[in-house]
Amino acid sequence: MTRFFSATRHGIPLLALAMLGFAGWSVASKYQPRVVTSPPIAAPTSPYGDDVAGSGIIEPASEVIALATERGGVVTRIAVVAGDLVKAGQPLFSIDDRNYRATVAQDEATVASANCFGRRDRPEPDLAGCCHRTGTRQSRRRRG
């Protein structure tokens, strides 16, 4: 009975053992102990003799009030800070309203245009220069 070296029987376990040894050597050679340095700024200290610490949620004594707006947007200004006393109707914050102003201006222009084109039988419209007919008369006056 002769014994011989088999690649599958002996080679794969030897290769795995060699790879495990390489991994261990690689991790051990990269390890460098950290150097302890002093912080650039000293940690703040409490001016009081006794300290109290806790974790949790701080809630007002009366009730939690949820705020909601009819239209969402980006808050541009906050009018109050924590601890301020507020009165009913006092604005707390402002929301960016540029897109709403643009929509209103566009709708007003649409209404003005519709009113102008609905009044073509009148020689001079209420909105100066908005009608096609008025523009034509002005151009004729300039030419002649």
Give 78-115 pLDDT, tens digit per residue: 888 877 888 888 888 888 889 889 999 999 999 988 88
Q: Taking a C-beta distance cutoff of 8 angstroms, is the pair 126, 115 a contact?
A: yes
Q: How confident is the model at residue 82, as a pLDDT?
A: 79
What residues does 95 pair with on adjacent strands? Answer: 75
Q: How confident is the model at residue 102, as a pLDDT?
A: 93
Task: Determine the 3-state secondary structure of 25 from DSSP.
Answer: helix
Quickly list H helices, the chain.
Answer: 12-30, 98-118, 132-143
Has residue 139 got a pLDDT over 50?
Answer: no
Is the pTM higher than 0.85? The answer reads no
Give 53-72 pLDDT, tens digit per residue: 667 766 666 776 777 778 77
Q: How confident is the model at residue 119, as a pLDDT?
A: 60
Has residue 45 got a pLDDT over 90?
Answer: no
